């Protein structure tokens, strides 16, 4: 079923057929269609069923080896299988699927030797590389020199704010890069088995809360206002560098920490930071404002060039909106491919930021210190944070 020339819905068997039957979708759309299907098929079927359907189709298309149209369709099946192995090798974690894939290669070895060789090379490359979707980055230039503390830091003010921003960025990028497309399907991160279905996306969510709490704890734990102002100013400098590094996820984390009720109420501390720092903080609050579905942030991120760590909360919101507002299947049994296309668009945006890593060096003394501080801050709950805030700045007695 099409709408304005675009595929809107179809039964599952037809969706699989469209992978190799270009006349059903259009030659110009075939590559785009295959990408959308690969990113979203798990919401309606399994890897095993798709693979078996393609193997069966290939055998049926082999009835007339002299027919050029059937030859093209067989090649499209082979090309899709290569794309599948290359882009989503984690789908083949089950030995049975790998064996069936190898069976297909053996099956076409004589009739399609070039295709068989290409598939073998792709499989061997991914097998040697493990389940990692991205290879080790090779940079043409050296990473910028690091700011290594001369002595073990006792506070974040003992560490250059740019280096703190860099190490936070490396932490966040590694988490973001690990998110797999299937974790974004069906709001998996909200389900009872979320730890199994969406472990990496869930790790990003937990990371957001942990860093926000750490920022809040760092400020309210300091009873001396001069030291507290210095801490706040240092954190604002970190924010500035996070923005320069395009680490929007950490930027939202830190702003979230400063927006904690325990921190928000200590107005005397905020009043004592200088005008330049106030301007930076105000600008970043505008950037991270959720008004009009984070309009300012969306405009900004679409204007920058990677590397970048996007704010993952926006994608959670978009995916939830798509999931809740569109049925996966219609009453007639057709799969809602329009919904698949919307979901794929969100996943593809995440992927574009996963592909270009940061050319930064990990500084163990800073990385480990920040990790330890973030973890330690989790021992405090919101009530304890507020009590520390009251110690730092007692309530003004009512007149």
Determine if the pTM surpasses 0.95. Answer: no
pLDDT on residue 107: 87
Q: How confident is the model at residue 133 (pLDDT cuts 50, 70, 90)?
A: low
Q: Express each pLDDT in 348-395 by its tens digit.
A: 999 999 999 999 999 999 999 999 999 999 999 999 999 999 999 998
Report the b/e string of 293-330 with b at 16+ CB within 10 A.
Answer: ebebbeeebeeeeebbbbbbbbbbebbeebbeeeeeee
Query: What structural domains does the chain harbor?
Result: 2-129 (1.20.870.10), 156-308+356-392 (1.10.840.10)
* Mean of pLDDT values over 10-17: 95
Residue 184 has pLDDT above 70, yes or no: yes
Query: Residue 148's pLDDT is what?
Result: 97
pLDDT at 256: 97
Which pLDDT score is estimated for 27? 44
In terms of Cβ atoms closer than 10 Å to its own Cβ (0-12, 13-18, 19+), residue 241 is buried
Write the DSSP symbol of residue 309: B
Lowest mean pLDDT among 86-90, 230-234, 261-265, 292-296: 86-90
Asked if 146 contacts 361 with a C-beta cutoff of 8 angstroms, the reply is yes
Please determine, for residue 232, whether its predicted confidence score (pLDDT) is greater than 80. Answer: yes
% residues pLDDT > 70 (the chain): 94
Per-residue pLDDT band at 2 (split at 50, 70, 90): low
Confidence of residue 4 (pLDDT cuts 50, 70, 90): very low
What does the alpha-carbon distance between residue 300 and residue 308 come to, in Å, rounded to a whole number? 12
Average confidence (pLDDT) over 89-107: 90
pLDDT at 343 over 70: yes
What pLDDT, in 10s, does the model give residues 296-341?
A: 999 999 999 999 999 999 999 999 999 999 999 999 999 999 999 9
* Averaged pLDDT, 41-59: 95
Q: Sorting pLDDT into bands at 50, 70 and 90, what band is 3?
A: low
| Range with lowest mean pLDDT among 20-34, 174-188, 197-211 | 20-34
What is the pLDDT of the chain when averaged over all its residues? 93
What pLDDT, on a 0 to 100 scale, did the predictor assign at position 160? Answer: 98
Report the half-sphere exposure of 294 (CA within 13 A, side-chain side).
18
**How large a percentage of the chain has pLDDT more than 90?**
82
pLDDT score recorded for residue 325: 95
In Å, how far are 139, 240, 242 from 144, measured between CA atoms?
A: 12, 18, 16
């Amino acid at each position: 079923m099409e709408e304005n020339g675009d595929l809107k819905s179809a039964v599952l068997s037809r969706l699989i057929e469209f992978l190799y039957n270009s006349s059903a979708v259009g030659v110009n759309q075939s590559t785009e269609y295959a990408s959308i299907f690969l990113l979203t098929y798990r919401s309606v079927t399994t890897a095993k069923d798709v693979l078996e359907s393609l193997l069966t189709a290939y055998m049926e298309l082999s009835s007339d080896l002299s027919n050029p149209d059937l030859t093209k369709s067989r090649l499209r099946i082979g090309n899709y299988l290569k794309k599948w192995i290359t882009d989503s090798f984690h789908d083949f974690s089950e030995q049975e699927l790998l064996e069936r894939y190898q069976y297909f290669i053996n099956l076409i070895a004589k009739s399609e030797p070039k295709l068989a060789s290409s598939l073998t090379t792709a499989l061997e490359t991914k097998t040697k590389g493990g389940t990692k979707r991205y290879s080790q980055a090779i940079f043409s230039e050296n990473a910028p020199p690091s700011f290594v503390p001369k002595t073990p830091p006792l506070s974040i003010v003992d560490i250059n704010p740019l280096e703190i921003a860099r190490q936070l960025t490396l932490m966040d990028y590694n988490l973001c890069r690990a998110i797999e497309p299937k974790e974004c399907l069906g709001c998996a991160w909200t389900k009872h088995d979320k730890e199994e279905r969406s472990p990496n996306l869930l790790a990003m969510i937990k990371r957001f809360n942990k860093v926000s709490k750490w920022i809040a704890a760092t400020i309210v734990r300091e009873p001396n206002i001069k030291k507290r102002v210095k801490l706040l100013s240092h954190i604002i400098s970190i924010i500035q560098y996070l923005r320069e590094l395009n680490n929007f996820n950490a930027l939202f984390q830190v702003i979230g920490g400063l927006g904690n009720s325990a921190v928000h109420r200590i107005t005397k501390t905020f009043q004592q930071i200088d005008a330049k720092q106030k301007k930076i903080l105000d600008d970043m609050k505008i950037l991270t404002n959720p008004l009009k579905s984070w309009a300012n942030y969306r405009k900004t991120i679409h204007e920058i060039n990677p590397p970048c760590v996007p704010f993952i909360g926006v994608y959670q919101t978009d995916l939830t909106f798509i999931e809740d507002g569109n049925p996966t299947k219609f009453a007639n049994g057709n799969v809602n491919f329009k919904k698949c296309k919307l979901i794929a668009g969100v996943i593809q945006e995440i992927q574009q930021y996963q592909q270009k890593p940061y050319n930064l060096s990990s500084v163990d003394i800073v990385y480990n210190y920040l990790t330890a501080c973030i973890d330690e801050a989790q021992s405090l709950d919101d009530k304890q944070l507020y009590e520390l805030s009251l110690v730092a700045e007692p309530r003004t007695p009512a007149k």
